[in-house]
Amino acid sequence: MAEAPLQDAHGRPIYGLDQNGYPWMNALATVMYLLVDPDQPISQTYPRLHRIVRRRFHDAMIARGHTKISQCTHADAKGIRTDDSEKQAEDLELSSNETDKTRDRWRKACEDLTDIWDRTGFYGAGTFASVFSARHRLMPSDLWAVKMERLKTNQMAWLKWDSPKMTRLAEDTGELPYVPREALLLLLLDQCERFPTLHSVYSCGSYSSTIMEGYADDAHSVAHLTQPLPADYDQAAARLLPSRTGIVLMDQKRPVLNEIQSCKVASQLLEGFAALRDMNVSHGDLSHNNYMIQEDLETHLIDLGLLSFGLDDVDFQAEISGHIFFREYQLTPEQAMEHTKLLDGVDFEGLRKFNFDCKLPHDARCFHLWHLVCIFYEVLHGYAAWENRAWNPNLSREQNELRKFYLTTVGVDEALARRDRLINEDLPIREDLSQDCADMLRMTFEKDPPLRPTLTEMEAMSWFGQWAFHPEGEFHRPPVEDVTYPPRDDVPCPPRDDVTYSPDDGVPYPPHDD
């Protein structure tokens, strides 16, 4: 084990070394649980953050009646539980007969979990996780989501230069189990309506399952709560809950919502971002797949798997900018410019295959806000900012949608043409939008990063919150297409490390050679 340094790169003490002595640089997973305790040095140095974390933690524990969070009771051959600190030093391998597909995840669910939870079907899968729907045997009137993914111990994260994903959490019993970082955040966000409520966590063997409030349309929810349970995995995989993520808000480049309805969605996403910001966290993975829209247009952020955290502003400054090809619609102008310089005359086709990292100093929060306003724009317009606005009926969906650009040559050409417009042209804005809305878009899509508004400045913009002055009856989601994502059991789930973001939260040394 490396000798732990006394100070981080910015000359600050390293609070909360990992149990095994890993010198994580004040990462969320290693310091957030300390901030609950007023006697910790970190709480005294960061009193505002301490007050918020402490209050949120206690409010959440009171709201859940102090019930236990980490529930799996199984131990390995040496008697060590998966949520034990000792386990964090292990590199957990899958056994040779497992491939980490959704089918295996279903099969490997913790028996303590399946003893009290009935899994009713399948919500969807993202890059990392498989999400099943479930009901509790003792309170079968609510639908929950079981997010199951490979458990990445802190040793595994360390070996990959990744940020720690497992964090301690102080249970009321006095135990300090390790739980996924996402679960701790959901707990701290318990009082914010914009995030799913955490129920519990089962870290068992090579997997962790986080159980949280599940979102579904009423009719689908009722069906899942009342119908006979699927007998096995194949039946469960066939019982798909249509996913109501933000994807449903665009229909062939036409917006599904009117301006005031879009205002509710945008304001609530902003509210979620603000709740994270108050804990010095910035959501690093916002896309249309990572927020859910209810029938009354209540909007919830999900997927806190990737994020930036910092004690001070300096922690959000990143040298490297990572771009993921299916996030083309959220590319910033400065990224587009940098890519153009680097790829000038080189095969742009590579864009469709590779995630692309380049040196581009920036504030991570500024990029994350750009991702957010790109969502606002697309919900309001039906197409992405600077995207070709016409749907060509002679082309396939893949050829039409910027989000799918990498699948076709027409798409790659169009994406490149759009990059030119992104760099050179003013933002086109629908003429029938209100002045407040147009002003918000014009200000947030400022091309020069230092001139872009901060989240706090955005909160003061007069467009946000206007929806609340309209009668509830105006907020009904129009009929939308049923989008379902059957489990991809034919292909292995993409490995986590395919995706790179910056800055990595708390990684001691830069993972890239400059």
User: Which residues are registered as beta bridge partners of 209?
Assistant: 148, 202
CB of 246 to Mg ion, least distance (A): 11
Contact 163, 27 (CB under 8 A): yes
Interface pick for ligand ADP out of 215, 377, 406, 464 (rule CB under 6 A): 215
Interface pick for Mg ion out of 16, 23, 124, 126 (rule CB under 5 A): 126
Q: Return the closest-CA partner of residue 69 out of 191, 209, 214.
A: 209
CB of 303 to Mg ion, least distance (A): 4
**Residue type at 333 in one-letter notation:** P
Strand 198-204 versus strand 178-180 pairing type: unpaired
| Interacting residues of 442 by C-beta distance below 8 A, sequence separation 6+ | 427, 429
Contact 170, 38 (CB under 8 A): no
Contact 162, 509 (CB under 8 A): no
Report the partner that residue 243 touches, choosing among Mg ion, ligand ADP, none (CB closer than 5 to 8 A by kind): ligand ADP
The yes or no reply on residue 305 touching ligand ADP (CB under 6 A) is: yes
Report the partner that residue 233 touches, choosing among ligand ADP, Mg ion, none (CB closer than 5 to 8 A by kind): none
Interface pick for ligand ADP out of 25, 35, 131, 318 (rule CB under 6 A): 131
Residues 232-291 that bind ligand ADP (CB under 6 A): 243, 245, 289-290
Q: Return the closest-CA partner of residue 46 out of 185, 214, 54, 102.
A: 54
The yes or no reply on residue 196 touching ligand ADP (CB under 6 A) is: yes
Residues 285-304 that bind Mg ion (CB under 5 A): 290, 303
The yes or no reply on residue 124 touching ligand ADP (CB under 6 A) is: yes
The yes or no reply on residue 126 touching ligand ADP (CB under 6 A) is: yes
For tokens 């086709």, the residue is: 349
CB of 496 to ligand ADP, least distance (A): 9
Calpha distance 45→159 (Å, rounded): 31
DSSP letter at 318 equals E
If binding means CB under 6 A, how many residues of this protein chain bind ligand ADP? 23
Calpha distance 299→318 (Å, rounded): 30
**Would you report the helix, strand and coil content of the chain in percent, each value rounded to 5?**
40, 15, 45
- Smaller CB separation from Mg ion, 286 or 437: 286
Interface mask toward Mg ion for 72-111; x: CB under 5 A = ----------------------------------------
Contact 118, 229 (CB under 8 A): yes
| Interacting residues of 443 by C-beta distance below 8 A, sequence separation 6+ | 453, 461
Q: How far is CA 325 from the centre of its chain?
A: 17
Calpha distance 24→162 (Å, rounded): 10
CB of 130 to ligand ADP, least distance (A): 8
CB of 348 to ligand ADP, least distance (A): 27
Report the partner that residue 487 touches, choosing among ligand ADP, Mg ion, none (CB closer than 5 to 8 A by kind): none
- Smaller CB separation from ligand ADP, 46 or 144: 144
DSSP letter at 433 equals S
Calpha distance 432→439 (Å, rounded): 13
Q: Return the closest-CA partner of residue 16 out of 1, 33, 3.
A: 33
Please report, for residues 351, 407, 456, 471, the alpha-carbon distance to residue 125 in angstroms, rounded to integers and kept in the order given.
Answer: 24, 20, 33, 35
The yes or no reply on residue 299 touching ligand ADP (CB under 6 A) is: no
Report the partner that residue 366 touches, choosing among Mg ion, ligand ADP, none (CB closer than 5 to 8 A by kind): none
Q: At what angle do helices 259-277 and 364-381 cross, to 10 degrees?
A: 160
Interface pick for ligand ADP out of 104, 303, 328, 334 (rule CB under 6 A): 303
Report the partner that residue 215 touches, choosing among ligand ADP, Mg ion, none (CB closer than 5 to 8 A by kind): ligand ADP
Contact 22, 164 (CB under 8 A): yes
Contact 215, 245 (CB under 8 A): no
CB of 129 to Mg ion, least distance (A): 7
CB of 126 to ligand ADP, least distance (A): 2
The yes or no reply on residue 123 touching ligand ADP (CB under 6 A) is: yes
Interface pick for ligand ADP out of 145, 275, 320, 380 (rule CB under 6 A): 145
Residues 387-416 that bind ligand ADP (CB under 6 A): none
The yes or no reply on residue 506 touching ligand ADP (CB under 6 A) is: no
CB of 184 to ligand ADP, least distance (A): 15
- Smaller CB separation from Mg ion, 182 or 190: 182
If binding means CB under 5 A, how many residues of this protein chain bind Mg ion? 3
Stretch that binds ligand ADP, among 8-16, 211-219, 369-377, 445-453 (CB under 6 A): 211-219
Structure tokens at 100: 């980490």
Report the partner that residue 267 touches, choosing among Mg ion, ligand ADP, none (CB closer than 5 to 8 A by kind): none
**Exposure of 301 in the CB half-sphere (CA atoms within 13 A):** 32
- Which residues sit at the interface with Mg ion, rule CB under 5 A? 126, 290, 303
- Which residues sit at the interface with ligand ADP, rule CB under 6 A? 123-129, 131, 145, 147, 196, 212-215, 243, 245, 289-290, 292, 302-303, 305
